[in-house]
Amino acid sequence: MNHRTTKKMKNKFTILILISALALGALSAIQAYLVNNTYVLKKRAFLNEVDDLVSEIDNEQILDSLYFETWGNDLADHIADYKNGRIDQKEVTQRTMAKADSLNSSYMSYYNAFLDSLQLEYTIKYHKNLESVLIFDGNTFDSILSSTSDSPIKLFGEEFDEKEAVSLSSSRWYGERDYITTVNDSVVTESYDMEVKTQDKIIITNWRRVVLRRMSGLLIGSILLFLFVIALLYYSIKNLITQKKIAEVKTDFINNITHELKTPLATLGIATKSLRNEAIKSSPSAFDTTLGIVERQNNRLQKLIDQVLTNSLSAEEIQLSKEQIVDNTFFSELIADFKLSTQHSDLTIHNKVHVPEILLRIDRFHFTTALLNILENAIKYGKDHTEITIYTAVKHGNYIIHISDNGIGISPKDQKVIFDKFYRVSDGNVHDVKGLGLGLYFTHQIITAHKGTITTESELNKGTTFIIKLPV
């Protein structure tokens, strides 16, 4: 694949991923907004519901009479004393509060009994604050008592810090009261209007949990939907990348095979032309040499085609014909043959095969191919002076083969994929070296067919070790 198209594709992907991320971001923002709106509404509905409940309890007759009659009448008495000048405003407040205190425990026991009978899924702490007491005698308003939000006056209920509390709707109570007083030494009955303003405050423990539980369906639904969209997006993008990789691998393969076929064909072309040359025709040795070239190029083409054909087999399709093989002999022969076939002049192979010898049950032909692929790579991706070490051992019922070289090494990223079909390391000057990216793939397939494993350890510029484990 050429550079420009790859770059274009990469840009396309980046844009695609960016747009998806933006869309996902927008979607989650909208979702969050909607969920938050629902939360606010649900909370309001819940508080309204609690408000109704509390005012219902407030209206229970027994509580009503404790508040309006017992406490209210007491307040009216104190106001009468105040009107007659017997006590001052402060005293009214003190006595009124003392009365409320004395009534509180019975008020609360009734209150809690009502609350218990409702069997709510949350607990409520309640108190009633006195906001103001205002009287009007036909001419003037007199504020007997008033509280501020900083220092509320608690009438009935439990003590608690109001910071966290919910204020329910305040209630007003109007009444006309009479009192006896003396005007110019004669006893008369006067009347006044009284307005008492109270407000209920409650603390609902766990109210958030209650509200959240009520919207759990929506929450779970939106989380699932969100996860589903992310999964879908992830899957699609991953799929796209895989498709793109496959396309790249195919193009690479076609480029590689074209390149591989071109060289022997060109050589064949030159060789056949030379065969027509009279000078060569007349010299038997030159004729032989040229024929040798034709033969070798022909073999090379044959090998190439065989490689493509056999390598399309998967591990399950490889037919193994296993035989008993003595490891020492097998490796000695392999090394000798390999040295003979390779034209590399500066090659040392260290044979460190396990002694005493061991009998292996392997397919000689396929196993040889597998190891030759590794040995050939050691030269292809090696330095001028190539050193290969073959070491074997038996460990935990496995026959272990290490083949190490002193070559250019493989980066950790590439180590993961070199056994993939058609994979070739694409950076550096590696592409000067011919190949189809099939060698290690086939080696892997053969080792797998033998129920073994193959792994690699490598350091760039130091060398590579292939480790094969075969069950014995």
Q: Tell me whether residue 294 or residue 315 sits nearer to ligand ADP (CB atom).
A: 315
Q: Please identify which residue in 71, 107, 381, 399 interacts with ligand ADP, judged by CB under 6 A.
A: 381
Q: Are 47 and 136 in contact (CB under 8 A)?
A: no
Q: Are 461 and 441 in contact (CB under 8 A)?
A: no
441 contacts ligand ADP (rule: CB under 6 A): yes
Q: Which of residues 123-162 bind ligand ADP (CB under 6 A)?
A: none
372 contacts ligand ADP (rule: CB under 6 A): no
390 contacts ligand ADP (rule: CB under 6 A): no
66 contacts ligand ADP (rule: CB under 6 A): no
261 contacts ligand ADP (rule: CB under 6 A): no
With CB atoms as reference, the residue minimizing the distance to ligand ADP is 435
**Minimum distance of ligand ADP from residue 11's CB (angstroms):** 27
Window of 113-121, 183-191, 207-215, 376-384 that interacts with ligand ADP by CB under 6 A: 376-384
Q: Tell me whether residue 279 or residue 309 sits nearer to ligand ADP (CB atom).
A: 309
The count of residues interacting with ligand ADP (CB under 6 A) is 23
**Minimum distance of ligand ADP from residue 377's CB (angstroms):** 3
**Minimum distance of ligand ADP from residue 434's CB (angstroms):** 7
Q: Tell me whether residue 155 or residue 349 sits nearer to ligand ADP (CB atom).
A: 349
**Minimum distance of ligand ADP from residue 280's CB (angstroms):** 34
**Minimum distance of ligand ADP from residue 426's CB (angstroms):** 8
Q: Which of residues 395-424 bind ligand ADP (CB under 6 A)?
A: 405, 407-410, 418, 423-424
Q: Please identify which residue in 147, 437, 445, 454 interacts with ligand ADP, judged by CB under 6 A.
A: 437
**Minimum distance of ligand ADP from residue 371's CB (angstroms):** 12
**Minimum distance of ligand ADP from residue 423's CB (angstroms):** 6
371 contacts ligand ADP (rule: CB under 6 A): no
Q: Which of residues 269-288 bind ligand ADP (CB under 6 A)?
A: none
- Please report where in the chains the tokens 């998806």 appear, as a residue: 20
439 contacts ligand ADP (rule: CB under 6 A): yes
Window of 212-220, 335-343, 391-399, 433-441 that interacts with ligand ADP by CB under 6 A: 433-441
User: Using CB under 6 A as the criterion, which residues of the chain lie in contact with ligand ADP when the complex forms?
Assistant: 373, 377-378, 380-381, 405, 407-410, 418, 423-425, 430, 435-441, 464
